[in-house]
Amino acid sequence: MIDLLNYIWSGIIIISVLCSIFLGNGDLLSKAMIDSGASAVSLLMTMAGILCLWSGIMKIASESGFTTLLARAFSPLLRPLFPRLDKNSEAFRCITMNVTSNLLGLGSTATPFGLKAMKELYKLGGESDTATNEMVIFVVMNTASLQLLPSTLGALRQSYGSDAPFEIIVPVWISSACALFVALTIACVFNCRSNQGEALKCRL
Amino acid sequence: MSLVMPVFACIIVIYGLFSRTAVFDAFLAGAREGLQTLLTIAPTITGLVFAVELLKASGAAEMICAAVEPAASLLGFPKEIVPMALLRPVSGSGSGALLISLFEDCGTDSFAGRVASVLAGSSETTFYATAMYFGCVNVKNIRHTLFAALAADFAALVASVITVRLFFY
């Protein structure tokens, strides 16, 4: 994926410089180049405080077992998506912890659980280089953003002068739910058609 | 709505106290991780803000927006969000940098600002997550994962325009 970003990043710079030469606004471009360093630093400063604060609070959530408690509450909702997995398996436990951490906005906790879940699914799938149905469902869930409280987004909106930084929270939930629904529907339909091993039942 | 964040933080702290966790110690450990995250993303942010500023100053961003405007307005999308929507599945910090510049240009509470906020909150860096998760287990054939994930990103885009219209206008 870094490869892709290599091309996009270079592409943006080349297009910008060519465009600027063509339009003859070189002075604006060199000013932007100098200013960009300062805007990057001020953006990082804006994010620094809120990032530390929420990482700290979320650490309390994971160390006190709050996350595990929530994970137990969510696990019945996740069961139907992984009918072939044993509900006491390490794979399923990692999946619920990953989803719960994502819901709480605990990115740095979610990722290790997610990687562990993939490794477990890989073992269960006989270490084949083809993705199993469960892997597809799991990764697709991770590419749809599930977050109860978009704290960084709210903080950004606030620092850029929003009157109501969290007014967008309900639209964000609805929009995430739509994305997740589309993702899971497509994944399930294809999974059913592929008929991998014991058929994966679609129950949404 | 303004109480959501403080109340949520409070619930976690109270739960921590009841489960006899050293809450402040845990907080400090987490905040340190937060700083490390910040340091990790600092070079990426610097590089991408640089690229985005160049794109805007050169007039190229305007040209891209103008080019897609007919399609965007036909679907009722604000044209300003198009660059961000395109970059969103590829790079989180890149689309973050575009979100900031959109906030500066249009304001957070404008139509484009709200749609961009909802989109940022409801979609993920699809390519990055897919590459990371399949990369760690050496799975080459990812079957329909990318198709389903990109369809979800598009659904998020459509849904953000619709929900913002329904809720605010």
Q: What's the sign of the alpha-carbon dihedral B41, B46, B49, B54?
A: negative
Residue B78 phi, psi (nearest 5)? -70, 130
Which of residues 108 through 127 in chain A touch B, CB cutoff 8 A?
A: 108, 111, 114-115, 118-119, 121-122
Rounded Cα distance between B31 and B38, Å, is 10
Ordered mean pLDDT values, 10 residues apiece, chain B (169 residues): 76 93 94 85 82 86 82 84 84 83 91 94 86 85 91 93 93
- What contacts A128, CB < 8 A, 6 or more positions away? B139
CB atoms B160 and A175 under 8 Å: yes
pTM for the model stands at 0.82
Which of residues 78 through 107 in chain A touch B, CB cutoff 8 A?
A: none
| Number of domains composing chain B | 1
Residue A130 phi, psi (nearest 5)? -105, 135
Of residues B26, B108, B136, nearest to A162 (C-beta): B108
- Say if B34 falls within a structural domain: no
Instruction: List the domain range (segments joined by +) for residue B48.
Output: 42-168
Rounded Cα distance between B157 and A169, Å, is 15
CB atoms A16 and B27 under 8 Å: no
B45 contacts in A (CB within 8 Å)? 40, 43-44
CB pairs under 8 A between A and B: 343
- Say if B141 falls within a structural domain: yes
pLDDT tens, residue by residue, A18-68: 999 988 888 889 888 888 888 888 878 877 887 788 888 888 988 998 888
- Say if B100 falls within a structural domain: yes
Instruction: Look up residue A84 and give its two tokens.
Output: 């072939």
- Say if B146 falls within a structural domain: yes
Cβ neighbours around B165 below 10 Å, total? 14
Q: How far off is chain B from A115, nearest CA to CA, in Å?
A: 6
Per-residue confidence band for A104, with pLDDT thresholds at 50, 70 and 90 = confident
Count of residues making up chain A: 204
Q: How far off is chain B from A139, nearest CA to CA, in Å?
A: 6
Going by C-alpha positions, the residue among A2, A178, A4 that lies closest to residue B151 is: A178
- Per the CB < 8 A criterion, the answer to whether A204 and A184 are in contact is yes
- Say if B60 falls within a structural domain: yes
* CA angle B1–B93–B67, rounded 5-degree value: 95
Mean of pLDDT values over A9-17: 90
